[in-house]
Structure 1
Amino acid sequence: MSDVVITVRGEHEARIAPERAVAHLTIRAEGAERGAVVERMAAFSEPVREDLASRTSAGTVVEWTSQRVSVWSERPWSPDGRRLAPVHYATVDFSATFTDFAVLSFWAGEVVEREGVQLGWIEWQLTPETRAAMERDVASGAVGVAVARANAYAGAIGLSTVTPLEIADLGLLTRNDSPAAPRQERMLMAKASFAADGAGAAPTVQLQPEDIVITAAVEARFGAR
């Protein structure tokens, strides 16, 4: 009796608390004179640079970057349809990586009080070492699911010996017009709320990090007899 070929899919996922948080913020200035706007943006940026450099030296910030400086002009329209004088804009983007989320919450509440600063979003991450280990574990789990399914199918038709023939990332063994990624890490954004400690006090940012979900899916082909 020839072997019966069984083709199955295995999926697995794991959730883990984030280890790092990358805060993204933008510093923005606008006005009627281009040179003055650029100078104002630079003046708004300098205290943020100094603060992040100090925190990096102290070890509470892993790394930070300042990039994507943009300067542009727009001519707005008046209510009666006339083009008004140009308005100039200047922005610069910052990102800072924190490992202590309590420090991040305090910093975020402080930085949003600075003139010209807009806090964008918080991106939760794992360290490269943890991510690589989790991906290995999740991929192994997906293979284990595929093996268990193949054995279940074989047992259902009275066969007892299952031999692996092929295993591949999702979509490589069978045609799939929209194949999913073999390993996917979902890094959810921060949920944040603002609360004041008392009258006149600066708001504190209460961060609620979501677990990072890492998934894997494989396809496998087995011979059963």
Structure 2
Amino acid sequence: MSEVVITVRGEHEARIAPERALAHLTIRAEGPERGAVVERMAAYSEPVREDLTARSAAGTVAEWTSQRVSVWSERPWSADGKRLAPVHYATVDFTATFTDFTVLSWWAGEVAEREGVQLGWIEWQLTPETRAAVEREVAAGAVGVAVTRANAYAGALGLASVTPLEVADVGLLARNDPPQPAPRMLMAKAEFADAGMGGGPSVQLQPDDIVVTAAVEARFTAR
């Protein structure tokens, strides 16, 4: 049999337990006086800043940020269709990266009870070093799957020698479909929810593994 060109796709994935947790929260104030609202928002924020600074010094928070300060006004409508006096709002967003999930659980329950604080969600993450190592492993695994498939196809045709010609991210060999980045990391999330009935916040801290996936296309010649 003459030389045959074999084109295959290889996929691989790894599941890794999260190493960090990125918590999101928003501090909010509202009222009829703009200046007073901004001052109250700042007063709500200060204990949070102090707490995160202390936890960062203790090593349980890797880093934290305070950003996206927003101040705006709205004039609501009454039930009979009349415009009411303006209501002013002020918010500021915080993020904090925790390295100790037990500390995170206690912190979340405590901070959610503070006036003006709204907990958002948690993003479970890997450290940059672990992420880079896992991405290399997954990419190599996807290539290995492609090689195994090419050899299987060649064997089915009675051919013994397989030589690689091209390896690329999915879509780059076909040229017709847009390329897809690889590896890809699927981030687990946990939502903060109000427990209701006067209770404290309910925090789900049972993260799924982070899934890192990769897919490649490869072209071989077989003899």
- Same fold, judged at TM 0.5 (above): yes
Distance change >3 Å, CA 120–CA 192, structure 1 → 2? closer
Structure 2 unaligned spans of 5+: none
Name the structure 1 match of 2:218: 220
Query: SS in structure 1 opposite 2:175?
Result: coil
Q: In 2, Cα distance between the equivalents of 1:116 and 1:181? A: 40
Query: SS in structure 2 opposite 1:207?
Result: coil
Asked if the contact 2:119/2:192 (under 8 Å) is kept, the reply is no
Name the structure 2 match of 1:16: 16
Q: What amino acid is aligned across from residue 91 of structure 2 in structure 1?
A: T
Q: What is the count of residue pairs matched by the alignment?
A: 222
Name the structure 1 match of 2:98: 98
Instruction: Give CA deviations for 1:104-123 in whole Å, capped at 9, x if unaligned.
Output: 00000000000000000000
Q: What amino acid is aligned across from residue 88 of structure 2 in structure 1?
A: H
Q: In 2, Cα distance between the equivalents of 1:201 and 1:15? A: 35
Instruction: Give CA deviations for 1:167-199 in whole Å, capped at 9, x if unaligned.
Output: 111111113435432211010211556779xxx
Name the structure 2 match of 1:169: 169
Query: SS in structure 1 opposite 2:109?
Result: helix
State TM-score, norm by structure 1. Answer: 0.94
Q: In 2, Cα distance between the equivalents of 1:139 and 1:42? A: 47
Asked if the contact 2:191/2:203 (under 8 Å) is kept, the reply is no
Q: In 1, Cα distance between the equivalents of 2:50 and 2:2? A: 73
- Aligned-residue CA RMSD (Å): 1.8
Q: In 1, Cα distance between the equivalents of 2:130 and 2:192? A: 25
Distance change >3 Å, CA 103–CA 131, structure 1 → 2? same
Note the 1:136-147 alignment, pairs <5 A: 136-147=136-147
Asked if the contact 2:120/2:191 (under 8 Å) is kept, the reply is no
Q: In 1, Cα distance between the equivalents of 2:191 and 2:118? A: 16
Name the structure 1 match of 2:27: 27
Q: In 1, Cα distance between the equivalents of 2:152 and 2:136? A: 25
Residue 150 (str. 1) matches residue 146 (str. 2): no
Residue 50 (str. 1) matches residue 45 (str. 2): no
Q: In 1, Cα distance between the equivalents of 2:150 and 2:66? A: 52
Instruction: Give CA deviations for 1:1-46 in whole Å, capped at 9, x if unaligned.
Output: 5410000000000000000000000000000000000000000000
Percent of residue pairs bearing the same amino acid type:
79
Instruction: Give CA deviations for 1:48-76 in whole Å, capped at 9, x if unaligned.
Output: 00000011111111111000000000011
Note the 1:185-224 alignment, pairs <5 A: 185-190=185-190, 202=200, 205-224=203-222
Instruction: Give CA deviations for 1:111-147 in whole Å, capped at 9, x if unaligned.
Output: 0000000000000110000000000000000000000
Distance change >3 Å, CA 119–CA 203, structure 1 → 2? closer
Moved more, 65-74 or 169-178: 169-178
Name the structure 2 match of 1:5: 5
Asked if the contact 1:9/1:217 (under 8 Å) is kept, the reply is yes
Q: In 2, Cα distance between the equivalents of 1:77 and 1:85? A: 9
Q: In 2, Cα distance between the equivalents of 1:121 and 1:186? A: 16
The alpha carbon displacement at 1:206 in A equals 4.1
Runs of 4+ in 1 over 4 A off after TM superposition: 191-196, 200-204
Q: In 2, Cα distance between the equivalents of 1:202 and 1:92? A: 22
